[in-house]
Amino acid sequence: MDDACWYRCKAKAKRQIIKPLAVLLIGVLCFFAAAPSPVFAAFTESAHSSDAEFPLYPIIKPNVDFWVNIFTKYSKAHGVIHDINNLSIIYEVVTLDPSETVSAANTNKTVKTAAILKYREILLKLATGIAPLSDEEIRVSALFGKTASPADFELAASNIRCQTGLSKEFKEGLIRAGAVLDEFKRIFKFYGLPEDLVYLPCVESSYNFKAYSKMGAAGIWQFTHDTGKIYMNIDYVVDERRDPYISTDAAARLLKKNYAVLGEWPLAITAYNHGLNGMLRAKNAAGNYENIFKTYQSSSFKFASRNFYSEFLAARIVAKNHEKHFGTLSFENPSAFQTVKTKGYLMAKDLMTQFNLSVEDIQTLNPSLRPPVFTEQKYIPKGFHLKLPKTFSLHEIDKRLAGLYKSGQKPSRFHKVRKGETAGSIARLHSVRLNDLVRANALGAKAAIFIGQNLRIPVRDEIITTVKKEPVKAKEMRPEPMVPAPAPENPVQTEKPAEAETTIAETTGPPGYETPIDPMFDVIAKPPTNVAAINPRIDMSDLKILHIEKKGLLPIGVIKVEAEETLGHYAGWLKVSAQEIRKLNAFKPHDKISIDRKIKIPLKKTTAQAFEEQRFEFHKEMEEDFFGSFSINGVDTYEIKNGDNIWRLCENELEVPFWLLKKYNPEINFNSLQLKQKIKYPIIGKAKEK
């Protein structure tokens, strides 16, 4: 019996004993009262959680009240214009277009920018010391009280922000949580943690099991790749961040560690957003949580980190009183499944046939399996904890699986395009169909490739679906904070859209038939100029080992550091310690590996091919996950300002992952940005649902 089933059986037996006593007690206390439903109880009981553990300090109460309203009162049709430091100061609630379209996003940006500019102008006028004259000036001045000084107004003019409402998302998240909440509480109880921590995903993801952020955080707990790897298995085949049960176990261990180090839950919860080391610095600088909230400042401790604990308290209040805010809700029910550990590698198609399951059935029960498993590009790995419906006994499952196992995993092969090559010549080199190569890499009808481009080589039996290319069109320049948007300087010209959206695979024939490409379209590889504007999925990274040298009998590879890579990644792929790589390169204790830097790697425990394969899969995983959730709606430019840091720019100002930003600026040295230097960046929108 799996853990989830055991817990439900135990809970049922417990209810059978307690329920008669509960009914009698309720009858004595209140004759007309009705006992709450089990699902409602899941949101109201908190046997191991108290306000002593999660204190509501007076100083943060305005913030908590603000977030309660965001979660319950305001929807995506509302933009709350407010002060960043004092959330009780709300200037206006503007009307937004809640539809998920590019035009709606542009309209909403215009509305929000206009509102921010309006109040900035009023506050700057009040900062001159002149008495307010208009009704609006009088109203805004009154928000700060009679003791407000010109300096207060001047500071406030730079601290205006717009928060979009989240009531619909929060309500839908509570409904989804009904399927897992009891099991999550059991997990936290197992680790000796407060059960009310189950409300943290209401803040992180609104219990959206498919949540994926622009910066690569995945699942309901929004683990980043690097943090997730500490607690879970994350690779090209399996991403356990997307499994609600495994990721909750990981979150419990992370929160337990935070609490053990920091000693109080307000700090431990804030560390979930800001990082343990970041909160240790804050604690050492300011002491307890209240002092940190009031006085602590750092380049990374901004609005999101400062408000994270307040958001958690608000989510907890709303979830435990959901009927007050949303009325009666019909919660999703837990799924019944059983788990078996695979003894070899499995093809998803064989699993579907043997157990009469659809792709959706397997994906729903096993959300950690990535798309390559379902295109037969990869096998379900050996040792995977496979969830199946309770239709068969475990003995019968083992019996049926025994004849399906494969001895090894399918490889991931790629080819770096060299001068003079064509798609046809590369297909012949690797003994694959030209059609399959074109479709696997979305090359289009002309099969255009670029020198230095990494092409994925399809594997046998792979189900190759056509990836529709979406040419990037130039949009209006994105406005800087509180500044109207200027007109574009150099609009990006795209290739012919009609040709770009076509693939040779659209012409079909009998089984085994390969649609021919006209020789004139099998063109020689072009120089890599502005490839991101043609197709942002084109990968120009240097993923191959540049050369191999010898140190005694030990082979040493030389590579160039690519975006998002760390010594930890190299150590994992090479099966060595990060310290060994540091020693090999004579790195100083605080020496960081910068982008494009050449470093040495030991190849004593793995082959060059195996290293390159894992490296390639790492970058494909990021790309595929991103474009599975987002699309590129245009390109803007940003001018580097004094104090800009590329990592904070990516995360806060531009909201673009660094690996993608680098694609649009291949000529820029990101290790040495210059004042007023202009960089291109893509405008990101949500991908259309398939």
- Give residue 468's pLDDT: 55
- Domain CATH for 660: 3.10.350.10
DSSP H helical ranges for 45-180? 61-72, 102-126, 135-143, 150-157, 167-177
Evaluate whether residue 210 is within a structural domain: yes
- Please indicate, yes or no, whether residues 265 and 227 belong to a single structural domain of this protein: yes
Nearest to 334 by CA among 413, 445, 244, 235: 244
Distances (CA, A) of 265 to 196, 297, 309, 310: 11, 20, 9, 12
- Please indicate, yes or no, whether residues 177 and 250 belong to a single structural domain of this protein: yes
Q: Cβ distance 570 to 485 under 8 Å? A: no
- Domain CATH for 255: 1.10.530.10
Strand partners, 42: none
- Give residue 4's pLDDT: 41
- Please indicate, yes or no, whether residues 225 and 317 belong to a single structural domain of this protein: yes
- Please indicate, yes or no, whether residues 136 and 194 belong to a single structural domain of this protein: no
Number of domains into which the chain is organized:
6
DSSP 8-state assignment for residue 234: B
Which of these three, 136, 165, 194, is where a domain ends? Answer: 165
Which of these three, 326, 349, 372, is where a domain ends? Answer: 326
| Host H or E run for residue 455 | strand 454-457
- Please indicate, yes or no, whether residues 188 and 290 belong to a single structural domain of this protein: yes
Query: Which residue range forms the structural domain that includes residue 600?
Result: 547-606
Q: For the whole model, what pTM was predicted?
A: 0.84
Q: What are phi and psi of 347, to 5 degrees?
A: -85, 130
Q: How many helices (H) and strands (E) does the chain have?
A: 29, 12
- Please indicate, yes or no, whether residues 592 and 634 belong to a single structural domain of this protein: no
- Give residue 517's pLDDT: 53
Between CA 581 and CA 572 the distance in angstroms is 11
DSSP 8-state assignment for residue 408: S
- Please indicate, yes or no, whether residues 186 and 318 belong to a single structural domain of this protein: yes
Which of these three, 402, 432, 451, is where a domain ends? Answer: 402
- pLDDT one-digit tens code per residue, 140-196: 999 999 999 999 999 999 999 999 999 999 999 999 999 999 999 999 999 999 999
- pLDDT one-digit tens code per residue, 599-642: 999 999 999 999 999 999 999 999 999 999 999 999 999 999 99
Evaluate whether residue 473 is within a structural domain: no
| Host H or E run for residue 398 | helix 394-402
Between CA 238 and CA 240 the distance in angstroms is 6
Evaluate whether residue 417 is within a structural domain: no
Whose structure tokens read 């219990």? 207
Evaluate whether residue 524 is within a structural domain: no
**Tokens for 36?**
């709450």
Evaluate whether residue 432 is within a structural domain: no
- The alpha carbons of the chain give a radius of gyration, in whole angstroms, of 28
- Please indicate, yes or no, whether residues 82 and 206 belong to a single structural domain of this protein: no
Nearest to 621 by CA among 275, 212, 204, 227: 212
- pLDDT one-digit tens code per residue, 95-131: 999 998 889 999 999 999 999 999 999 999 999 998 9
Q: Which residues of the chain have pLDDT under 50?
A: 1-48, 471-515
Evaluate whether residue 423 is within a structural domain: no
Looking only at the bridges linking them, the beta strands covering 678-686 and 630-639 are antiparallel
- Please indicate, yes or no, whether residues 225 and 191 belong to a single structural domain of this protein: yes
- Please indicate, yes or no, whether residues 177 and 320 belong to a single structural domain of this protein: yes
Whose structure tokens read 């999660």? 54
- Please indicate, yes or no, whether residues 132 and 197 belong to a single structural domain of this protein: no
**Tokens for 356?**
């009469």
- Give residue 45's pLDDT: 38
Q: Cβ distance 398 to 354 under 8 Å? A: no
Evaluate whether residue 23 is within a structural domain: yes
67 contacts: CB under 8 Å, gap ≥ 6: 307, 310, 311, 313, 314, 315
Evaluate whether residue 475 is within a structural domain: no
DSSP 8-state assignment for residue 519: G
Strand partners, 550: 555
| 396-426 burial code (b ≥16 CB/10 A, e <16) | ebeeebeebbeeeebebbbbbbeeebbbbeb
- Please indicate, yes or no, whether residues 667 and 682 belong to a single structural domain of this protein: yes
